[in-house]
Amino acid sequence: MSPIHPDNAAPRSDSDSAREIETMRRHIEQLQSSGHELSRREEMYREMVQSANSIILCWDSGGHITFFNRFAQTFFGYSESEVLGCNVLQTIVPPDDASGMDLAALMTDICTHPERYENNENENVRKNGQRVWIAWTNKPLYDSDGRFIEILSVGNDITRRKQAEDELLRMATIDPLTDALNRRAGQMKLKQLMSLAQSNSQPLVVGYVDVNGLKTVNDKHGHQEGDELIQLTSHTLRSALRKSDLFCRLGGDEFLIILPKTNLAAAEVVWLGCLSALTEFNATGAKPYPLSVSHGFALYDPVLEPELSPQEIVSRADQIMYQEKTALKAREGTQPR
């Protein structure tokens, strides 16, 4: 963990934090070696730590807090008596962060291998439940026999920085109209999931989806209504997918669905749920036009076609979707797309 400053204070650099920790470390060693001056040096050391404009705490190999300076108490909202002896997971660290990362496992690993975590960033929680991000610098402390006894951690509040980074990431990866992943983010996810599928020798299905009737809606009701058609279709389809599935907007009225660890038969079952969701929406009569889509599914089998590229699998799904759309248009007596 590392020096913690509120966002409205000037942040301290990692080098500053490291120097402060090393200074305190030397003071600890001096306290251990200068018995006749122990009381005076201990008083000086404690005053320095308590007066620091940083979160400074110590926690043992079991994750229990052994020291919590005044700034930490003010920042997290706990008094010293409330946290000393308590586990960090029961107080200032939630079991997982907003992205689902297992923070309990992270804390256990830090206690087991403190040398790996000289610097780390993770989400923390105040007594009032507010989530905050802290950049931590950690220093393992050992006894005279070289046994690891506890970790000295100093931290900086980086919540505003993380919020700015998250917003930039959102702008770079989220489609503003539908709130789905954008084309670039979807292509990156597909590449990653195909690589994972190859490592696990598990199939993956890619779906190419095209909204039917967009031109008609634009012509009859205007482009704003056409945008709403795209939004409603996106929301309805996404609501019917599994948590493991990914959905992105390729652009215009075209979407990509990625179904990990799925074969074609299972993908069609998922698609039946999507069609059911569209049918349910249309039955409400909320719009003067139906939500309708054409789709095509293509299988990526890493055992049979390990060299298949993301572009090739998307192209296959697109071709199958086009065949379905062509058949629909033929029944309606109109031209596809």
CB neighbours of residue 85 within 10 Å: 10
∠ Cα 38 40 46 (to 5°): 95
> Mean of the pLDDT values across residues 270-274?
97
Domain ranges of the chain: 14-165, 174-332
Backbone angles phi, psi at 3, to 5 degrees: -60, 130
Here the contacts of 228-231 (C-beta below 8 Å, separation 24 or greater) are 229/287, 229/289, 229/291, 230/177, 230/178, 231/177, 231/178
Q: 2 falls in which pLDDT band (50, 70, 90)?
A: very low
> Mean of the pLDDT values across residues 163-179?
90
Q: Among 77-86, 107-116, 324-333, name the one with the lowest average pLDDT.
A: 324-333
Question: Quick check: 9 pLDDT over 50?
Answer: no
CB 140 within 8 A of CB 115: yes
> In terms of CATH architecture, what is 174-332?
2-Layer Sandwich (3.30)
Share of the chain above pLDDT 70, in %: 83
Average pLDDT, the chain: 87
Tell me the whole-structure pTM to 2 decimals: 0.58
Question: Quick check: 83 pLDDT over 50?
Answer: yes
- DSSP summary character for residue 64: B
Q: 265 falls in which pLDDT band (50, 70, 90)?
A: very high
* CATH T-level fold of 14-165: Beta-Lactamase (3.30.450)
Token digits of residue 202:
């598990």
Strands in 131-142's sheet, in edge-to-edge order, are 65-68, 55-60, 148-157, 131-142, 119-125
Question: Quick check: 39 pLDDT over 60?
Answer: no
Size of the chain, expressed as the number of residues it contains: 337
30 vs 56 pLDDT, higher one: 56
90 vs 133 pLDDT, higher one: 133
Render pLDDT for 10-31 as a digit per residue (tens, 0 to 9): 444 555 555 555 555 555 555 5
> Mean of the pLDDT values across residues 148-164?
93
